[in-house]
């Protein structure tokens, strides 16, 4: 008999403020430190989490007292990150002009993630942006 195991998922709700981003990174590092090969995801995962979290804070039309929820899980050797918010907008890739100060975050997500997308939240309020991150290769030492 085969028993499917659900991935161990970490979930936290943080204030929808830019000052919450360092806590989100800290929680991600703590989660990854508990995984056997967590360090192989760390750099890319931190960057993408920061981009998705910043987008949720900056672009959400949800009331300011709503939380942003972050979720992490290892699924078939891929790290899944989710950032949930109560806003109605959906992220989209766009070309940033050379002098634009913002607008390149999703381009980074698109280039560094194995895949990513946006889905409606269960219950119909808001959305979540998810990404799958492949582990970085381990350098061969001679």
Q: What is the CATH number of the domain that holds 49?
A: 3.30.565.10
Give a yes or no: residue 139 inside a domain: no
Mean pLDDT calculated for residue range 7-22 = 90
Q: Is the pLDDT of residue 15 over 80?
A: yes
Torsion sign, CA atoms 32, 110, 129, 96: positive
Give a yes or no: residue 13 inside a domain: yes
Mean pLDDT calculated for residue range 5-26 = 87
Residue the block writes with tokens 């492949």: 134
Give a yes or no: residue 66 inside a domain: yes
**Per-residue pLDDT, 128:** 95
The pLDDT-based confidence of 31 (bands split at 50, 70, 90) is: very high
3-state SS record for the chain:
CCCCCCCCEEEEEEECCHHHHHHHHHHHHHHHHCCCCHHHCHHHHHHHHHHHHHHHHHHCCCCCCCEEEEEEEEECCEEEEEEEECCCCCCCCCCCCCCCCCCCHHHHHHHHCCEEEEEECCCCCCEEEEEEECCCCCCCCC
The pLDDT-based confidence of 1 (bands split at 50, 70, 90) is: very low
- State how many domains the chain has: 1
**Per-residue pLDDT, 100:** 62
Q: What radius of gyration do the chain's Cα atoms show? A: 16
Give a yes or no: residue 70 inside a domain: yes
**pLDDT, the chain, mean:** 86
Mean pLDDT calculated for residue range 88-115 = 79
pLDDT tens for 37-48 read 899 999 999 999
Q: Is the pLDDT of residue 12 over 90?
A: yes
Higher pLDDT, 132 or 108: 132
**Could you list the residue range(s) of the whole structural domain that residue 68 is in?**
9-92+104-133
CB 70 within 8 A of CB 12: yes
């Amino acid at each position: 008999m085969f028993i499917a195991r659900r991935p161990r998922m970490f979930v936290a709700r943080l204030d929808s403020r830019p000052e919450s981003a360092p806590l989100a990174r800290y929680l991600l590092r703590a989660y990854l430190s508990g995984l056997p090969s967590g360090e192989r995801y760390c750099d890319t995962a931190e960057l993408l989490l920061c981009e998705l979290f910043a987008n949720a804070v900056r672009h959400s039309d949800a009331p300011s007292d709503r939380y942003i929820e972050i979720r992490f899980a290892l699924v078939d050797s891929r790290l899944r990150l989710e950032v949930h918010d109560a806003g109605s907008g959906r992220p989209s890739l766009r070309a940033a002009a050379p002098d634009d100060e913002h607008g390149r975050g999703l381009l980074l997500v698109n280039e560094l993630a194995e895949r990513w997308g946006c889905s409606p939240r269960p219950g119909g309020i808001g959305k979540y942006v998810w990404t799958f991150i492949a582990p970085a290769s381990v350098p061969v030492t001679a």
